[in-house]
C-alpha cells in the first residue's frame, strides 16, 4: 500500500489560506443560494417553459453534486491532503461551466449578471490558485504514481470532441435561425470554454509540464461530473417538469462516461495511494518502446 499524499504549506507559497479559502467558501454560499432560490421561486427565476425545462432540474444537481464537490475540496485542503488541492480546480471549473450556461441561456438582466459574476468569481479563484501553487513540487510527488499519458490523451480527445459537437450545435442553430438567442443552446458555449481547458490541460500532461499535474485530476473529475450531473438531471427533470423518465438515456450516458471515469479513478488511486506500489512511469515507457 502506498501512503496518501499530503502537502507542506510551502507548496502554496503561504498565500492560499489567506485569500483562496474564503473566496471558495463565498462561491459555495452563492451557489447554494442561487440553486435554492431557483427551486423555491421557480416561476420567478424561470418564467418560461424553456427555462424551466433546461435549468430547474439542474438546481438540485448543483446542491447534490456541485456543492459537495467544492466543500470536500476545501475540507481536504484544510486537512493537508493534496487530493483536495488537486480536486479544487475541477470544482471551480464545474461552477464556471454551469453558471456560464445559466447566464447565457436567459435574456440579459440582473439574474444573468449575477450568474456571470459567480462564474467570474470562480475563474478568479482558479487563476489565483494556479498562480499560487508550486507546480514543480506537485509534479515531484505525482510523476511516479500516475499515468499522465493516458490522462492527457483522454483530456485532449474528450475536449476536441466536445468542441466539435458544440460548434456543430451553434452553426446548425444559426443556419436554422434559432440562434440568436442562445436559449437552451447556451450550454454549447460553456462546452467550448471548458473544453479548451481540457485540451490545454491534456497537452500539458502529455508534455510532462508541472502545471498539468496540478490541474489534471480536477479536469478529469470535472469531465466525469458532466456525465454524473446529466444522469442526476434525468432523475430530477420528471419531478419538476413534463420531461418523461427514460432509463435508456441514463444507461447511454453512463456508458459514454466510462471514457472519463476510468482514467479519473486511475489518477485518483495514484494520489490517495491505494493498491500496490507501481512505478507508472516505467510501465508507460516500457509500453511505448
Instruction: Give the pLDDT score at 166.
Output: 86
Q: Percentage of residues in the chain with pLDDT exceeding 90?
A: 51
Identify the residue with better confidence: 87 or 187. 87
Helices (H), 1-147: 21-40, 42-45, 49-51, 58-61, 67-78, 82-104, 110-132, 135-142
What cell was used for 202? 491534456
Tell me the three state secondary structure of residue 6: strand
pLDDT band at residue 276 using 50, 70 and 90 as cut-offs: very low
Distance, CA of 87 to CA of 65 (rounded, Å): 13
What cell was used for 176? 436554422
Instruction: Give the pLDDT score at 97.
Output: 93
pLDDT band at residue 7 using 50, 70 and 90 as cut-offs: low
Asked whether the predicted pLDDT for residue 3 surpasses 60, the reply is no
pLDDT band at residue 69 using 50, 70 and 90 as cut-offs: very high
Instruction: Give the pLDDT score at 121.
Output: 95
pLDDT in tens, 216-230: 999 999 999 999 999
pLDDT band at residue 120 using 50, 70 and 90 as cut-offs: very high
Q: What is the mean pLDDT of residues 54-82?
A: 92
Asked whether the predicted pLDDT for residue 283 surpasses 60, the reply is no
Q: Which residues, in sequence order, are bridge partners of residue 6?
A: 81
CA distances from 31 to 119, 184, 192, 228 (A): 10, 20, 22, 18
pLDDT in tens, 220-265: 999 999 999 999 999 999 988 888 888 999 999 999 999 899 999 9
pLDDT in tens, 189-217: 888 989 999 999 999 999 999 999 999 99
The pTM assigned to this predicted structure is 0.86
Tell me the three state secondary structure of residue 106: coil
Asked whether the predicted pLDDT for residue 144 surpasses 90, the reply is no
* Structural contact between residues 77 and 85, judged by C-beta atoms closer than 8 angstroms: yes
pLDDT band at residue 54 using 50, 70 and 90 as cut-offs: confident
Amino acid at each position: 500500500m502506498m501512503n496518501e499524499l499530503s502537502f507542506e504549506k510551502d507548496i502554496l507559497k503561504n498565500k492560499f489560506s489567506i485569500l483562496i479559502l474564503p473566496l471558495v467558501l463565498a462561491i459555495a454560499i452563492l451557489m447554494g443560494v442561487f440553486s435554492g432560490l431557483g427551486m423555491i421561486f421557480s416561476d420567478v427565476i424561470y418564467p418560461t417553459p424553456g427555462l424551466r425545462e433546461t435549468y430547474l432540474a439542474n438546481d438540485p444537481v448543483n446542491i447534490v453534486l456541485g456543492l459537495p464537490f467544492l466543500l470536500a475540496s476545501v475540507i481536504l485542503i484544510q486537512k493537508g491532503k493534496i487530493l483536495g488541492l488537486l480536486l479544487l480546480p475541477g470544482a471551480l471549473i464545474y461552477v464556471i461551466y454551469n453558471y456560464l450556461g445559466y447566464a447565457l441561456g436567459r435574456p440579459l438582466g440582473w439574474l444573468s449578471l449575477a450568474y456571470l459574476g459567480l462564474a467570474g468569481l470562480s475563474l478568479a479563484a482558479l487563476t489565483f490558485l494556479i498562480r499560487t501553487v508550486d507546480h514543480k513540487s506537485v509534479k515531484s510527488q505525482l510523476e511516479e504514481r500516475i499515468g499522465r499519458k493516458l490522462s492527457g490523451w483522454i483530456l485532449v480527445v474528450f475536449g476536441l470532441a466536445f468542441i466539435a459537437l458544440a460548434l456543430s450545435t451553434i452553426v446548425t442553430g444559426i443556419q436554422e435561425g434559432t440562434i440568436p438567442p442562445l436559449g437552451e443552446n447556451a450550454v454549447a458555449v460553456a462546452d467550448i470554454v471548458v473544453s479548451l481547458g481540457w485540451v490545454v490541460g491534456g497537452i500539458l500532461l502529455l508534455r510532462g509540464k508541472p502545471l498539468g499535474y496540478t490541474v489534471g485530476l480536477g479536469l478529469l473529475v470535472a469531465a466525469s461530473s458532466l456525465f454524473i450531473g446529466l444522469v442526476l438531471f434525468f432523475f430530477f427533470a420528471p419531478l419538476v417538469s413534463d420531461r418523461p423518465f427514460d432509463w435508456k438515456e441514463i444507461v447511454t450516458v453512463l456508458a459514454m462516461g466510462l471514457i472519463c471515469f476510468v482514467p479519473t479513478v486511475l489518477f485518483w488511486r495514484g494520489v490517495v495511494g491505494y493498491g500496490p506500489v507501481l512505478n507508472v512511469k516505467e510501465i508507460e515507457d516500457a509500453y511505448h518502446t
